Structure 1
Amino acid sequence: MKIRLVHNGVFEIIDQIEEAVKPPEQGFYWIDADVEDLVVLQPLFGMHDLAVEDCMHDEEQRPKIEIHESHYFIVMNSIRFDDEEIFLRALNIFLGRHYIITVTKQRINELRSLKPILLEQEVDRPDYFLYHFMDLVVDNYFLVSDRIEARIEKLEEDILMNTKKTHLNEIIGLRSEILWLKKVLGPQKEVIAALNKKELKLIDVKLQKYFGDIFENTVKISETFETYRDLMGNLREAYQSSIASRANEIMRVFTALTTIFMPLTFITGIYGMNFDYIPGLHFYGASYILLGFMLLVGLGMFFIFRKKDWL
């Protein structure tokens, strides 16, 4: 647990948590805590039992805002995009008049990126801290949105240039991630809307229009993900069309090969091998050589078809 006194964006480390219980002469306290620290923090700051229970719960919490007498409890989801996978990181926030407590189970990048912004903006109130943090969280959704768009464009190009069976799994997986993110954004949008429209005594009235700007950005992201969902449907149709076209091409090649060998098979079917002289007929081991040659021809055709992704 780290305790900081924040005044005009400047941090001062505090050693004793008891100092943060009373309002400072200037600025506010930012307590960056782990879940285990709530045992100490709850009696000092009068945290609601249900809020503490939500923080300790192992399952993902739905983004929400709870209004209590002395503080607000807010749950937000930070987003990360690592190794082509999307992760959500839950952040629990307790907002009071002279303090803000952030409780996390994983590392939140936005909290580290927030420090220079607080210094630049000379933040001196916990509600302004909350605003800048939420602004960073929503901005990161834009970054993830851009990376998803890049993945869609690359997948579309790969499907048009060289369709593979693995592309269908990529389409299904990416579409599931987009639907999941859109589902997460719904309640997160409601939280920001509440900060924008409700009259909250712990939020400066001047901040409401700024939260409104964040809300508009959240709506844009939600609409963008809706567009991505439609694009994934188009990609699936393009994949199916490409597969059908590829199957027709393969059948055309097979039909040509069959047509070429059909008269030869017809001729050998009539005459068979009933000739007085056949090269190698009396050669010892000729039958084994012929069988080996037939096996090589079969294997060669099999590998050629696999290389062309026909099988």
Structure 2
Amino acid sequence: MKIRLVNNGVFTPIDDIDVTLTPPEQGFYWIDADAEDLIVLQPLFKMHDLAVEDCLSDEEQRPKLEIYEGHYFIVINSIRFDDEEIFLRALNIFLGKHYIITVTKQKISELRTVKPILWEQEVNEADRMLYLLTDLVVDNYFNVSDRIEAKIESLEEEVLMNAKKTHLNEIISLRSEILWLKKALGPQKEVLLLLYRKDLRLIDENLQKYFQDIYENAVKVSETFETFRDLMSNLRESYQSSIANRANEIMRIFTAVTTIFMPLTFITGFYGMNFDSIPFLHDKHGSLYASGFMIVLGLFMLYWFRKKDWL
């Protein structure tokens, strides 16, 4: 657990947790805690049992905004794209008038990137930090959507050039993740809408209007994932068409090869008959004549098929 006094963007470490119970003369307290630290924090800040239970639960938490006496409990999902896999990680936030408590189970990059922004903008209020942190979370969805778009374009190019069975697994997996993300964004948008429209006394009225911009960005991300879903459906159809075209191409080659060998098979069968009056049968160069004729005939048919663009 890290405790900091944030005063005009300047961080001052605090060792005594009891100090945070009293509002500072200037600035606010930021407590960056793990789930285990709630044992200490819950009685001090009178956190509701249900909110603490949500923070400790191993199940995936739905984004929410809950209003308690003296503080708000907010859950938003941070997104991460590692090794071609997409993860959602819950960022639990307790917002008071003079403090903000962030509780996480895994490392969340937004908690690191928000620090220089607090310093640059000389942030002095806890609700302002909430706004900046939420904005970073939503902006990160745009970064992930860009990577997904690049992945789709790369996959589309590979499918059109040389479709493989592994591509189908990638298409199905990526489509499932996109649908999952789109579903997860629904509750997140609801929370952002509440932060913008609901009467919240712990958030400055002028600052609250800026949450509209974050909400609109979340809507854009949701629409982008809707477009990705359609693109994945089209990509699956392209894969199936590519496989069908490839099968047709193989069958065309096999048919051409079979057609070329049909007259050659007839000639070998003709000379294999049990008759004594077959041309060149007793000629010492007969086998060379027959072989040469078959080679010339095969090459001629191959040339003819190429000229007709059948091969």
Shorter-chain TM band:
0.7 to 0.9
Structure 1 residues without counterparts, runs of 5 or longer: 278-311
Matched, 1:28 2:37: no
1:67 counterpart SS class: strand
> 1:131: Cα distance to partner?
0.1
SS of 2:209's partner is helix
Describe the SS at the equivalent of 1:24. coil
State the distance in 2 between where 1:181 and 1:216 align: 17
Give the distance between the partners of 2:169 and 2:267, measured in 1 at CA.
47
Please identify the structure whose Cα radius of gyration is greater. Answer: 2
Describe the SS at the equivalent of 1:66: strand
- d(CA) in 2 for partners of 1:245 and 1:17? 69
Whether 2:191 is the aligned partner of 1:191: answer: yes
Report the equivalent of 1:242.
242
Q: How far, CA to CA, are the matches of 2:206 and 2:26 in structure 1?
A: 20
- The alpha carbon displacement at 1:244 in A equals 1.1
Instruction: State the 1:264 CA deviation.
Output: 3.2
Paired with 1:208 and 1:90, the residues of 2 have a C-alpha distance of 22
Q: How many residues align?
A: 278
- Write the distance in 1 (CA, Å) between the matches of 2:213 and 2:274: 90
Q: Which amino acid aligns with 2:198?
A: K
Per-residue deviation, residues 119-172 of structure 1 (Å, max 9, x unmatched): 111111111000000000011000001111111111111111112121111111
Residue type of the partner of 2:94?
Answer: F
CA distance in 2, matches of 1:192, 1:269: 82
Query: Aligned residue for 2:305?
Result: none
C-alpha distance in 1, partners of 2:198/2:99?
A: 21
Q: CA deviation at 1:218?
A: 0.4
Per-residue deviation at 1:274?
6.5
What is the alpha-carbon distance in structure 1 between the residues aligned to residue 164 and residue 174 of structure 2? 16
**Distance in 2, Cα, partners of 1:46 & 1:274:** 106
- What are the superposed Cα offsets for residues 94-136 of structure 1, whole Å, 9 maximum, x if unpaired? 1111111000000010000000100111111111000000000
Identity %: 78
Matches within 5 A, 1:36-47: 36-47=36-47
Q: Deviations over 1:234-271 (max 9, x none)?
A: 11111111111111111000101111223333444565
Matches of 1:71 and 1:51, distance apart in 2: 11
Letter matched to residue 265 of structure 1: T
Where does residue 129 of structure 2 map in the other structure? 129
- 2:265 corresponds in structure 1 to 265
Instruction: Tell me whether 1:208 sits opposite 2:236 in the alignment.
Output: no
Q: Residues of 1 paired with 2:118 and 2:252: CA distance?
A: 67
Change in CA separation of 1:245 and 1:122 when aligned onto 2, cut-off 3 Å: same
What SS does structure 2 have at the residue aligned with 1:65?
Answer: strand
TM-superposed deviation, 1:84: 1.4
1:220 corresponds to which letter in structure 2?
Answer: K
Q: Which letter does structure 1 place at the counterpart of 2:82?
A: D
C-alpha separation between the residues in 2 aligned to 1:130 and 1:272? Answer: 91
Tell me which amino acid in the other structure corresponds to 2:96: G
Pick closer, same or farther for the CA change 1:126–1:273 going to 2, 3 Å. farther
Q: Which runs of 5+ in 2 are unaligned?
A: 276-280, 283-311
Letter in 2 for 1:99: Y
Amino acid across the alignment from 1:195: L
Give matches, 1:96-135, under 5 Å.
Answer: 96-135=96-135
**Could you say what secondary structure the match of 1:61 adopts?**
coil
Letter in 2 for 1:165: K
Q: Residue 216 of structure 1 aligns to a residue in which SS?
A: helix
TM-score by length of 1: 0.86
Alignment partner of 2:29: what SS? strand
> What displacement does 1:12 show?
0.4
**AA at the equivalent of 1:45:** F
Distance 1:265 1:19 in 2: 98
- Change over 3 Å in CA distance of 1:107–1:269 after alignment to 2: same
d(CA) in 1 for partners of 2:234, 2:106? 36
Q: In 1, Cα distance between the equivalents of 2:113 and 2:261?
A: 70
